[in-house]
Amino acid sequence: MAAVKSVKVFKVESAQPYGWVVSMSDSVTKPHFFINRALATNYARLWAKANSPSVLRVVDLQGKTLKEWSYSSVDALYA
C-alpha cells in the first residue's frame, strides 16, 4: 500500500505595489517575487507539478481565490 502524501498548497498573490509573490504554505522556503502575474503563475505551476500532490491558487488582494489548479502524482502500480 502506498504511503499517504500531504497536499502542498502554493499561492500566487499580489505584492502591491511591487509585483507578485509565489509561496508554499507551511514551508520554510522563502517566497519568490516576480514582476508580473504571468511569470509568477508559470513558475508556480512548474513548482506545484514538481511537488505533487499539490494545489495552486491565484488569489486577489482580499484573499479570494481567482483560479485554482490541482496536481496529482500517478502511482506506477495503477498507471
Residue 73 confidence (pLDDT)? 78
| 67 within 8 A of 57, measured Cβ to Cβ | yes
Give the confidence band of 17 by pLDDT, cuts at 50, 70, 90: confident
Average pLDDT value for residue range 10-31: 89
60 part of a folded domain: yes
Catalogue the E-assigned strands of 1-79: 8-14, 20-24, 32-34, 54-59, 65-71
Q: What pLDDT, in 10s, does the model give residues 36-73?
A: 999 999 999 999 999 899 999 999 989 899 999 999 97
52 part of a folded domain: yes
64 part of a folded domain: yes
36 part of a folded domain: yes
Q: Is the pTM of this model over 0.85?
A: no
> Structurally, how many domains does the chain consist of?
1
